[in-house]
Every structure is written in C-alpha cells, then in structure tokens.
Amino acid sequence: MQSWFSLELDGRPYRVEKDDTHLTLAQFLVQLDEIYADFSFGESWRGGCPVIVGQLEKDAPRFRLNDATLLLMPQLAGRQVWTPQGISNSDPNHPVNIALSSGIFESGSKRNGSLAAALFEGFYRPDLRRRGQMNDQFDSLVTRSLNVPSVRDAAARVFASVEQVRHEAAQKAEKSGKENQVWTGRKDIHEDRFSKRLFQLKEYAELNYVDGSKRRFYRPKTLVDLMRLKREYPEAQLIAGGTGLAQDSGKVEWPNLISVEGVDELNEIITDQDYWEIGSAVSLTRIAETIGRECPEFAKLMRRFGSRPVRNRATLGGYLATAWSQGQLSPLLIALNARVMLLSNDGERNAPVSQFFDKNGGTILQPGEIVRSVVIPRSTDSLLDSRGMTARICDAYSTGQRRNLVDPFVTGAFALELREKVVAKAWIAYSGLGKTPVRIKEAEEFLAGKTWNEDTMHAVLPVLHKSAGALLKAASEEEDDEEAALYRKQLVITLFQKFYYQHPDPDSVKPKNLSASNEIGRLEQPFFDAITPLT
C-alpha cells in the first residue's frame, strides 16, 4: 500500500499524501490555493466546476472536459489536470486565451472559466468538425449570463483554425502514411506546451492508496486483480466514472473504493462483424465516437445526456449498475437488443438489458458480480438480409425541462424489424414511468405481423395507453403530482406517434428532418471546409 500518489496540476507535479479518498478535486483545489477559490461553488445542475483532464484512452492521449466536483482525487493519480486558471496563466498566447480576451462572453470570472475549459477541450478534439457539434461541446454552460451568439462565433473561429492546422498536418503526414494518426488524434499536431505534456503521458500504473483514515482506493490493472480485490473486500464500493458517486462525497462514507477505470479488459470496444462489445469502463463519449456514425440514435440521445463533462466520465457499466430510473440510455439499449455480460468469481452469465433491472429499482447484480461489458448487435444490411429482414427502423426520444443537465421526464426508444412493410419484430421501451425502465411487451406482440402504416400506429396506441396507465399507477405511491403523471402518460403515446411520423416508410430508415432545424442551425456546415485549397 502507498500513502501517497502524484498527479500533474496546471503543469506542475503534485504529490498528494494521506488525503481522504473521498476528497473531490474541487475540494482539494479550494484548499490548495486562493486562486482556485471559484471551485467552492459548483452545482452540478449548472455544469459544476469544469477542469481539463489529460488522460490516455487506450493508446490515444486525450484532453477531456471534466467536472471537478465529480472527480475523486485518487481517480486522478498519474493524470494531468488543467484548471481554467492554469490554462489562462500558462500560455496567454494560446488561441483559446486569445479568443477569450477579445469579446464579452460572460459576466463573471468563474463562468469565463467554464467557457475556457470547454473551448480548450474543443481545440484539441480531433472529431470536432461541424457546427452541429457546438451544442455538444458547450452544453455544460448553463447560465443566463452567457452571451451565446458571440461564444458561437468565437468558437467557430477557433475550431476552424485548428481544423486547418489538422488538414495541413494530415497532408504532410500523407507521405509517411501516418495521416490516420493525425485524424484520430494520435499525433501531436500542435506541439504547444499543453499537448507536449499530454503526449508524454505513460500508461498508468496500478494504484493501491491508503488515506489518513485507513480507507483504501484501489485501481487494479487487470480483471484478475479486480476480481481478487472484490473477493478480498466484499464491502468495498466499485467506482467507474464516479459521476454519480462523487456527488455524495461528504454525505456518504464508503469504506474502501475499487476503481475499474484502469482495468484493460474493461476499457475496450470490440467491433465485430455482428456486434459491438463495449467494456463497462469505457466512457459514453468514447462509445459515441465509435458507434455513433452507424448508430445515430445513440449519438442523438448522447446530446441530451447530462453534459459534456458528465459524458466524458460516465461509463456504461456505471450507468447500468446504478439503475437510474429516468436514465435515457436503457430504453435505447433495450430497443437495440443489447445484452449485459456479467462476471463473478463463479463465472460469467448474461442477460438482455430489459431483464437486467429488477422491479424495485435495483438490478440483478449479485454481490461479488460486476458488469463486464455490453454487447450491442449491429444491424448492417447483410446482417438483416441473413435474418430475412428488409429493414430495421430504430429511434429514441427524450424529453426534459431543458435540453441538458436535467432529469428527463420520459425517454422512449423503438425499433422495428420489417419484412417489406410487415413488422416482424418490435421493441418498445420507456424509462421514467416507474422505478425501472420497461419494455412494453403487449404492444410489441400487437405490432408483430401487422403492416407498418398509420392505422397500425393508431391501433397500438390504446395498448400503450393501458400499459402506461398500469405502470404509472403502480408507481403512484411516490408520484403525487397528478399533472406530471398525466404528462408522462401522454408522452408514452406521443413519443410513439412521433416515431411513426418520422419513420412512416420502411424504405426511408433515416428520419425525415423534422425536428433538427438544419437550415437554420447550419448543423452540417463544417468549421473548416477541406475542399477549399490550403493557403
């Protein structure tokens, strides 16, 4: 055991000794120095206290926007942390700092910090290309004192300039055949003081830390070690991304913590011809980066899930194990026919996501058992063909008081497998109707064998209505707000209607562009157009 660990903070190495395993980065910074005083106020619904964490994700070094109130200190061992203060002080001539000093974006220094961190991550993000991704990058900024139009303009300028740099670097790298490294962010194209340090990151060592109160924090490297620790410390709390857990820092006392972050086997996404197997410690952002193109409904839900800092930390394993009743992802995972792979010392077992949650708001996880991975079947044309299907339609919808950082009211996800115009199999799932996400089997059975048209859609609504009514009634012990219950009940119907109106035709699997205001938001417009000759 070691009673210390080290990390890099704003470009300087720090050794943390004996400090509480439960200490969040925000609490640590407030104690550390007056210049971090802003970190004492951070409400997560408002985006918390943003920082940048430099970390290795498999072989790719990445700067990720994180929320300092949602990070426990030992999670940061061996990582690099840049605070907004550090970013602005280290290199005043960095494009991000220059952009921020040339306009009125926000009132208040703290808020400027949130903007600086979000802009900084965007600057180093290799996949940020189109204006439509802007909301995704800045959705943790929740304040009425933000001047959104000028933030958009300034960010577009910064992102365009960095795209240009990337294009130039890619052209240069073409000769050596390493251009792919540029596009995937595995090559340092900036060579500034931030990226140079980032690219020096080495693989993390395992961590066995004990704090002043003899509480332990383990970060094993292998699955074998993880299972051993789990056996040795059955009372220990597993921690994945920690976005849910860290919120309770100071309120709940965990004896020992075991982090799954460092376990190689859990950090992998295996892309097979038929399926993706997503390790339970992979962050939601990485999942969206990998499968988002082929599975746009996943990417779409991601845009409304928490905020960028949350998605950068949260993992699928953590999401499932905590069984968030209003979680947006569970219905989609059900509609995608995903399975959860569980592992314990007794062996492996698996279950469809719809059967992973139990009726009381918990899960089927046994003591000593962990979520190893989630297997999501792909639905390429050839795969559909082999099953005799002609099309698969899938979509998911989430609603909330606002777009981000909110507990959604109801999320619905629907999938249909069609033979010509006839529904062969259907998946209809919701969350937000009770303690667990539900699959409405009656409606699915009703749909099977029917032609997918408006009449069928109307005919299934009473079935949905009845099931939703029963579910909400069962949950009404806790729900005393009649109006809210009525709204949820309505949404069960209307989300399915929306699904029909956006996908009325089996031939057009892509949704008709009804909700996204492409022409107004210029969502597909790239920040930097590669076709224009480089100057």
Partner 1 sequence: MSDEDKDLGEDSNVTPFRFPDEDEGSETFRQRLRRKRMEVGEVDGSALDREATGWRASDRHLVMMLLTSPHASATIAKKDASAARRVEGVEAVLLAEDIPGENELGPGFPGEPLLADQEVCYVGQPLAIIIGEDEASCRAAREEIQIDYHELPGILNLEHAAAMKSYHSEARKTERGDVRAAIAKSDNRYQGELTIASQRPCLEIQPSITIRPMNRGETIRVQAKSLLPSRIRSAVARVSGLPESAVEVESEAANGLPGALESEPVRLAILATYAALKGRAAVTLILDSPTEPLIAGDRHATHGKYTVGFSDDGVIEAANIDLRFDAGFFPGDSQAFLDRALLHCDSVYGIPDLRIRGILCKTNRLTSGSMPGEGAAQGAWVMEELIQRVAGITGIPADEIREKNFYGDDTGVNTTPYGQPVNPSAIQRVWNHAIGRSEYYDRVKEVEKWNRRNPSHKRGIAATPVKFGLGDPRPERNMGMALIHILPDGSVQVRPGLIDLRDGLDLQLKEEISNRFGISPANVRVIPGDLNAVPQATPANAVDSAGLILRAMADASEQLLKQLRETAVQLFAAKGHTEVDIETIVFTEGKVGPESFPGAPLEFNEVVAAAWRRRVNLLAVGYHRTPNLWWDPELGAGWPFSSFTYAAVVTEIQVDAFTGEIQILRVDVAHEGSPTPDQSARDEAQLFRSFSVGAGWILSEDLAEDNAEEGMPGFADAPLQWESDRLRPSGDFSTAAGDPCGEAPVLLAGSIREALWNALRAFGLNPALNIDLPLPATPSAVLATCTEISKQLAQKEKEKQEAKAEAEESVGKAG
Q: Which is nearer to partner 1, 218 or 409 (CB)?
A: 409
Pick from 58, 92, 101, 145: which binds partner 1 (CB under 8 A)?
Answer: 145
The token pair at 498 is 């929306």
Which residues neighbour 529 within 8 Å (Cβ) at sequence distance 6 or greater?
none
Which residues neighbour 428 within 8 Å (Cβ) at sequence distance 6 or greater?
335, 412, 414, 439, 440, 443, 444, 447, 464, 496
Q: Answer yes or no whether residue 229 interacts with partner 1 by CB under 8 A.
A: no
Q: Answer yes or no whether residue 204 interacts with partner 1 by CB under 8 A.
A: yes
Q: Which is nearer to partner 1, 87 or 119 (CB)?
A: 119
Q: Answer yes or no whether residue 526 interacts with partner 1 by CB under 8 A.
A: no
> Which candidate, 195, 267, 192, 243, places its Cα nearest to that of 70?
243
SS3 of residue 25 by DSSP: helix
Candidate segments 239-247, 397-405, 427-435, 457-465, binder of partner 1 by CB under 8 A: 397-405
Determine the angle formed by the axes of helices 148-174 and 109-124, rounding to 10 degrees: 20
Q: Answer yes or no whether residue 405 interacts with partner 1 by CB under 8 A.
A: yes
Q: Answer yes or no whether residue 428 interacts with partner 1 by CB under 8 A.
A: no
Q: Answer yes or no whether residue 456 interacts with partner 1 by CB under 8 A.
A: no
Q: How many residues bind partner 1 (CB under 8 A)?
A: 87
| Identity of the residue numbered 225 | D
Q: Which is nearer to partner 1, 335 or 491 (CB)?
A: 491
Q: Are 51 and 86 in contact (CB under 8 A)?
A: no
Q: Answer yes or no whether residue 448 interacts with partner 1 by CB under 8 A.
A: no
Pick from 68, 71, 116, 151: which binds partner 1 (CB under 8 A)?
Answer: 151
Q: Which is nearer to partner 1, 130 or 419 (CB)?
A: 130
Pick from 55, 404, 431, 436: which binds partner 1 (CB under 8 A)?
Answer: 404
Q: List the x/- string, 473-502, binding to partner 1 by CB under 8 A.
A: ----------xx-xx--xx--xx-xx--xx
Q: Answer yes or no whether residue 503 interacts with partner 1 by CB under 8 A.
A: no
> Which candidate, 331, 240, 320, 326, places its Cα nearest to that of 283?
240
- The interface with partner 1 within residues 85-144 (CB under 8 A) comprises 103-111, 135, 138-144
Going from the C-alpha of 519 to that of each of 92, 153, 193, 524, the distances in angstroms are 37, 17, 39, 9
Q: Answer yes or no whether residue 157 interacts with partner 1 by CB under 8 A.
A: no
CB neighbourhood size of 397 (10 A)? 25
Q: How far is the CB of 521 from partner 1 (least distance, A)?
A: 4
Find the helix or strand (DSSP H, E) in which 118 lies: helix 109-124
Max Cα separation, the chain?
67
Q: How far is the CB of 5 from partner 1 (least distance, A)?
A: 6
Q: List the x/- string, 28-67, binding to partner 1 by CB under 8 A.
A: ---xx--------x-x-xxx--------------------
d(CA 191, CA 193): 7
> Which candidate, 380, 404, 186, 179, places its Cα nearest to that of 293?
380
The token pair at 511 is 């949704």
Q: Answer yes or no whether residue 380 interacts with partner 1 by CB under 8 A.
A: no
Q: Which is nearer to partner 1, 78 or 318 (CB)?
A: 78
To which residue do tokens 């005083």 refer? 37
Q: Which is nearer to partner 1, 403 or 450 (CB)?
A: 403
